[in-house]
Structure 1
Amino acid sequence: MIDSTDAHTKADEKPGRFQRFHERFMVEERVLSAAAKRNLFITGAVLIVAGLVGFFVVLDSILESDDLSYIDAPVEHWLESGRDGWLTTLMIILSIVFGPIAMPIIILVTTVAWGILAKHAWRPILLAGGMILGVIVVQLLAPIIARDRPPADEMMIGYDPTSSFPSGHVMGVADFLFIGTYLVFSRHRRPVITTLAFVVAAFVVLLTAACRIYLGYHWATDAVGSIMLSLVVLGIVIIVDTWRTVRVGSPEEVAESDRRPEAWGRNER
């Protein structure tokens, strides 16, 4: 005869469907030393502070029409002076690819494909969450700051009546590339490769910023302020990811983890 208390205990101990899903697809663990974990938290905090300080410095310059805002006209004139047929075509293509129509599709395809191929959802969800946070920030700040764009006759592919600061194009690309680069290469054991990946990401972000200025839709300080905000979002993602996934291990466990092949998002436990 089965004791009813034991039966209830076993039923209570059996994980539910949501718990099984969570443990299989959402729980990711990586073993690092205490110093490495602390450094990740410090990096995230530094990015948040530096990004906020940089953003408010740019914002103050814009509101007061001084300091950094003095670079806007010279940068715009310099890019406009180099306009050429092939370069304009390239800039228009970049603007469309990283624009409000194509970019959400790219993000959706990337996150879904990543989740399916890796059979794990934590990092794709974190990427999508960071992107959504960036969109919310732009949508909240742009109408409040209400900065005018460059003159309408300088806009090369149609008039845009929305506010200029911060730039949704630049911040969207920066969020996608910076967060994506961190989520992929933070698990890589070779710092040189991680550094090169961030250099490439930064180059594409700067190219996107130049594209928007070249086509007449943004000032240089719009791009700088947007990149600063993206650093804040990246810092938040690093802190959340570190808090959620990093377990401090013994020197032996850390060494064993270093010898493992990359899991690319699978549950390593």
Structure 2
Amino acid sequence: MTDATTTVFGRDVRTWSTRPGERLARAHRKVAQRVGGRAASTLGLVAGGVVVAMSTAAAIAVYDDVTGRSGVQRLDGPALRLAKRLRSPSVNTAAGSIAYGFGPVGMPLLTLGTGAVLALRSRTATPLAFVAAAGGGSLTMTLLGKRIVHRNRPPRREAAPPYEHSPSFPSGHTINAASVGAVVAYLLMLQQRRRGNEVALATAAGTTIAAVGASRVLLGAHWFTDVVMGWTTGLGWATAVITAHRLHLSLSEDQAGDAGQAD
């Protein structure tokens, strides 16, 4: 029987259905045999971060080249004009609340609080460690991206409060929401026994990630392409963190099987 706490939509996350996945799991186990499971998970996260960082750097290079010639930048002006038409006192208030909730203060509290609750429910610190990794990695990529690409935000006259002052690219709110939101949803789904609950969690996470990004454009805090890069980078990092967690579960299963055979 498959443990309900290791499945998402009926699929056991400890198993790998592709050859690259199987090779990755074997490599992870070999590393764990040499340095230990915890260190192997840390190295897996670092490796995933390097892959995401390299992909992001390549995307930034393409972004600079394309926007310098008018490609995706054509989306920014129309998106901002649409955002201005959609604004109203109630809409601005809602978008501002999202900005505060997923901002520099609210997001760390939300991340650590959610991770702590998951850890208490599962009686292990593993969920907290992976949620913290998702948040820490997304923050690092946000800071690096802003230092590499010094893009100005939309003009203040085109924006609505709360106003921002740091470089525009990429959208930190969006990266954080995408990475942490996806990882938290995945960890919560592992604790569900009903398919309907899993669907609800996936829908809530997707809606939240989309809403945070849309709110940044709506307020004029970011250009649309800043948000698109935030979505892709955040979800890329979330994929790396989730993969590392799956490797952790696979290793735990292998170690339990080895212990059982030894008995």
Q: What is the TM-score when the length of structure 1 is the normalising length? A: 0.69
In structure 2, relative to structure 1, the CA distance for the partners of 1:61 and 1:200 (3 Å cut) is: farther
**Given that residues 174 and 231 in structure 2 are in contact (C-alpha distance below 8 angstroms), is that contact kept between their aligned partners in structure 1?**
yes
Question: 1:191: Cα distance to partner?
Answer: 5.9
The number of residues matched between the two structures is 220
Name the counterpart of 2:233.
229
Question: Residue 75 of structure 2: which of 51, 71, 76 is its match?
Answer: 71
Question: 1:161: Cα distance to partner?
Answer: 2.3
For CA contacts below 8 A with separation 6 or more, give which structure has more relative contact order.
1
| Alignment of structure 1 residues 47-66 onto 2, 5 Å | 52=56, 57-62=62-67, 64-66=68-70
- Structure 2 residue 39 is matched with structure 1 residue 35: no
CA distance in 2 between counterparts of 1:201 and 1:165 reads: 23
Question: 1:114: Cα distance to partner?
Answer: 2.4
- 1:127 maps to a residue whose letter is V
**Given that residues 142 and 165 in structure 1 are in contact (C-alpha distance below 8 angstroms), is that contact kept between their aligned partners in structure 2?**
yes
CA distance in 1 between counterparts of 2:193 and 2:251 reads: 16
Secondary structure of the structure 2 residue equivalent to 1:35: coil
CA shift digits 1:13-56 (9 cap, x unpaired): xxxxxxxxxxxxxxx9x8844538976979xx9x969x757666
CA RMSD of aligned residues (A): 3.4
Name the counterpart of 2:140.
136
Gaps in structure 1 of 5+ consecutive residues: 1-27, 254-269
Name the counterpart of 2:116.
112
Secondary structure of the structure 2 residue equivalent to 1:161: coil
**Given that residues 59 and 225 in structure 1 are in contact (C-alpha distance below 8 angstroms), is that contact kept between their aligned partners in structure 2?**
no
Question: 1:198: Cα distance to partner?
Answer: 2.4
**Given that residues 175 and 230 in structure 2 are in contact (C-alpha distance below 8 angstroms), is that contact kept between their aligned partners in structure 1?**
yes
Name the counterpart of 1:121.
125
Question: 1:69: Cα distance to partner?
Answer: 1.5
Question: 1:116: Cα distance to partner?
Answer: 2.6
- Structure 2 residue 171 is matched with structure 1 residue 173: no
User: Over alpha carbons, which structure has the higher Rg?
Assistant: 1
CA distance in 2 between counterparts of 1:197 and 1:96 reads: 22
**Given that residues 83 and 219 in structure 2 are in contact (C-alpha distance below 8 angstroms), is that contact kept between their aligned partners in structure 1?**
no
Question: 1:104: Cα distance to partner?
Answer: 1.2
Question: Residue 197 of structure 1: which of 191, 198, 201 is its match?
Answer: 201
Question: 1:202: Cα distance to partner?
Answer: 1.6
Which moved further from structure 2: 66-75 or 197-206?
Answer: 197-206
| Alignment of structure 1 residues 186-265 onto 2, 5 Å | 186=190, 188=192, 193-246=197-250
- Identity rate, percent: 22
Secondary structure of the structure 1 residue equivalent to 2:165: coil
**Given that residues 69 and 221 in structure 1 are in contact (C-alpha distance below 8 angstroms), is that contact kept between their aligned partners in structure 2?**
yes
CA shift digits 1:56-94 (9 cap, x unpaired): 6545433x2422221111111111112111111111111
CA distance in 1 between counterparts of 2:82 and 2:253 reads: 53
**Given that residues 76 and 225 in structure 2 are in contact (C-alpha distance below 8 angstroms), is that contact kept between their aligned partners in structure 1?**
yes
